[in-house]
Amino acid sequence: MAGLIVQTQPSAEPLSEAEIRNYLKATDTADQALILMMGKTARKFCEEFTHRGLMTQTLQLLLDATEDMNNPLWEGMRTGPYLNYYKNYIVLPRGPVTAVTSLKTFNDSDQPTTMADSRYYVDTAREPSRIVLRTGETFPTALRVANSIEVIYTVGYANASSVPEPLKLGMLMHIAYMFDQRGDMKDYQETLSMPPMIQKLYNPYVIHGGIGSSTLMATG
């Protein structure tokens, strides 16, 4: 299994308070805390749905093994070698990846070993990005049974203006939806699904095969 933890939260948001207020046509400064909270919530939901980090943040990826646990169902008999034993890469489930800080493995005594960055290549030409071993390199064996591999890496766009506009528009629509529906439970079932237009804006930016740190089930 795998776990993804945000070690360092973003220091800024992709949408400013002024941008949100302009979209909502909201002028009452008494709701400042609420608007900022909704802005952060919309950003987190967008990140979970698309498997992207919108603003610069540091992530900790923990893996039990290097084998791909999400292989599609194979119908019939296999006549070739079991290639999962020779897996030479680690998928980084959230992007856009800007840097890999460290790659560590842990033995059964919980002692860490840091792999030199000269032994692997960070492939950011594809999404999801991945760490690929150089020719002749292998991952250590005899590792502990859980969380035996740790990757610390950084994701996010350079600044707020670099965040794709469809994602920003989707967040503004999400914020407006939450703002209009606050405290209103009469359409509870409706709030359990994402408004179709927001989903259409987000879909082209989804990193398929990514994992999230949590599952957000509602937009309201």
Query: Would you give per-residue pLDDT tens digits along the chain (220 residues)?
Result: 468 999 999 999 999 999 999 999 988 888 899 999 999 999 999 999 999 999 999 999 999 987 644 455 555 655 554 444 457 899 999 999 999 999 999 999 999 999 999 999 999 999 999 999 999 999 988 899 999 999 999 999 999 999 999 999 999 999 998 888 776 665 655 656 678 899 999 999 999 875 444 333 333 3
What strand order describes the sheet that includes 2-8?
2-8, 57-63, 149-155, 97-106, 112-114
**What letter represents residue 101's amino acid?**
T
Q: Which residue has the tokens 């359409």?
A: 187
Structural domain including 201 reads 10-51+159-205
Within a domain: residue 21?
A: yes
Beta strands in the chain (DSSP E): 2-8, 57-63, 89-92, 97-106, 112-114, 120-123, 129-133, 149-155
Q: Is the pTM of this model over 0.85?
A: no
Domain-located, residue 66? no
pLDDT at 184: 61
Domain membership flag for residue 30: yes
Q: What are phi and psi of 86, to 5 degrees?
A: -115, 25
Q: What is the pLDDT of residue 186?
A: 59
- Confirm whether 183 is domain-assigned: yes
Number of domains in the chain: 1
